[in-house]
Structure 1
Amino acid sequence: MRESRAYPLLLALPGVVLAAAGLFHPTGLNYDTAQLWYLLHLPGLLVFPLVGWALADLVAGRRDVVAWVVRATAYVYATFYTALDVVSGIGAGYVTRQLGPDVPRPEAVSLMFRIGTPLGEVGSWALLACVVVLLADRVRALGVGGLVGLVLLPGAWLVHTEHIFSPLGVLGMLLLGAGSAALAVVARRTGVIAHTSDR
């Protein structure tokens, strides 16, 4: 599959799907936006972790320390960012909708964000660490061609600061998808596949 021309598109897909979702993501949560807030975050359970998978798959088959750092940070991102999605997305959206119209936000919903936000922070910092380590590794292995992955850095930073809110969070997810795909394309064109970096 990694030699297939469709492989880079597969790596880009999670970021692209989340960017598309971000175009519809409400900027605030209240009764009127709660249903859409909930419905957008529900499939996020399946898609947010795949951003980490796409990054980790670029070092698939390797057993060196750098590859394990990439996998570990991608896993931490996937786990903690999914927790944000569940608590502040699915949970808070569902509860806000069930409270009904014209009901002021209760302290319980605010407490959900107080839990979800720091969990998401852990995840987004792990995402940043993942792309920094991956980028350094790919530049070492691919040379100048590896610099196509530089777009991962602003992508991860924008997701860290803006989630998937439009326009900057949307751009961040697009950059993550594009960077993952571009690194796969360059690796295939140069004949450098992941396991050639085993140490």
Structure 2
Amino acid sequence: MPRRLLWPLLLALPGLALATAGLFHPHGLSYDTAWRWFALHVPGLLVFPLVGAALVVLVRGRTDAVAWVVRLSAYVYATFYTALDVVSGIGAGWVTHQLGPGVPRPAAVSQMFRIGTPLGEVGSWALLVCVAVLVTDQLVRLRAPALVGLVLLPGAWLVHVGHIFAPEGVAGMALLGVGTGALALVGGDTQRKSGRSVQPSGPPTRQGV
């Protein structure tokens, strides 16, 4: 694989990994689905924040206000969506499994969703803000090549309405992964062709003294 593709692929992996996980995510929580519900959300602790981190990498090295809006909104997404993962994913899944078969889901578990869902809403709105600002910024900086990043917008919206549930959430996470990787690729290509730094899009390199 060409070296120029490795970094974009790495940045695309969090979204693509979550899209894959979404294919196995149960659509409802009961004792029969509780263990899979729980087990899928544990690694989500590590992967959900990486979707935001990959977006932040696209403005690495910049100190302008737009870059800080991208960083801040990605941080809000990462923290609040992780809270959703912990409460409605790990917590609710674990408690439902521990109750055992044939036990109706108690109201206490439903209350976990009542707090987890709005936390996730804050996170997903922050993700929408992040990608909207980032895509606008990249269109201004890179012009036509940055059009590939437009897929981030429907991607973030589908995650907002569908989490990682199939089909909406799966498609949304896949689009987020593809869009992030594509912007990294075109940013790196633009930088190489122009011979100047449009924005740091590749992996950090060591420079000699």
TM-score between both structures, scaled by the size of structure 2: 0.91
Distance 1:116 1:195 in 2: 36
Q: Is 1:45 paired with 2:45?
A: yes
Alignment match, 2:114: 114
- AA partner of residue 187 (structure 1): G
For structure 1, the residue ranges without an aligned partner over 5 or more in a row are none
TM-score between both structures, scaled by the size of structure 1: 0.95
Alignment match, 2:61: 61
Distance 2:90 2:116 in 1: 11
After TM superposition, give the deviation of residue 168 of structure 1 in Å.
1.4
Alignment match, 2:137: 137
Q: Is 1:194 paired with 2:199?
A: yes
Alignment match, 1:147: 147
Distance 1:57 1:163 in 2: 23
Q: Is 1:77 paired with 2:82?
A: no
For structure 2, the residue ranges without an aligned partner over 5 or more in a row are 192-196, 202-209
Q: Contact 2:14/2:47 (CA < 8 Å) preserved in 1?
A: yes
Distance 1:194 1:98 in 2: 50
- AA partner of residue 35 (structure 2): Q
After TM superposition, give the deviation of residue 5 of structure 1 in Å.
3.0
Distance 2:100 2:49 in 1: 31
Alignment match, 1:30: 30
Identity of aligned residues (%): 70
Runs of 4+ in 1 over 6 A off after TM superposition: none
Bigger radius of gyration among the two? 2
Q: Aligned Cα RMSD in Å? A: 1.2
Alignment match, 1:177: 177
Number of aligned positions between the proteins: 194
